[in-house]
Structure 1
Amino acid sequence: MSQTKLQSFLEANVSTAIGFGISWAVTPFVMGAFGYSVGAGTAFGITVVYTVISIVRGYLVRRFFNRMEVRRG
């Protein structure tokens, strides 16, 4: 049984929300390792941009694989 589009969207968001918290916490350290000093606000902005990209990517990949499964079945 394949997921509905809504289920795919929700799954991608839950996974990405977990990643958001981890990314926000480590961004200042990673940026610092490359010589950039960033505060919590900048780290939040960077994390938001990558989170949006991640949500779209996760949704599209999930829909692609669901479509491939339907065509085989």
Structure 2
Amino acid sequence: MKQTRLMSLVESVANVIIGYGVAVVTQILIFPVFGLHTTLAQNLKLGAVFTVVSIARSYLLRRVFEAIRVRGD
């Protein structure tokens, strides 16, 4: 069964929203270990930047694999 482009985007966004929360919590816990001290606002902004990049990466990679699958049929 073929996944539509829209559903690829919806899946990627849902995955990254959950990942965003995990990333922010991880940053809060791990940054101090490396001597990086950031505010909550900075962590949220940094997480947002990586979230946008992650959505684009996940969507594009899924479309590449879908194109490969279609060519193989």
TM-score by length of 1: 0.94
Query: Alignment identity in percent?
Result: 33
Q: Which runs of 5+ in 1 are unaligned?
A: none
- Hey, what does 1:43 align to over in structure 2? 43
Q: Which runs of 5+ in 2 are unaligned?
A: none
CA RMSD for the aligned pairs?
0.8
TM-score by length of 2: 0.94
Distance 1:33 1:45 in 2: 20
Q: How many residues align?
A: 73
Q: Please identify runs of 4+ aligned residues in structure 1 that moved more than 4 A.
A: none
Matching residue's letter, 1:2: K
Matching residue's letter, 1:60: L
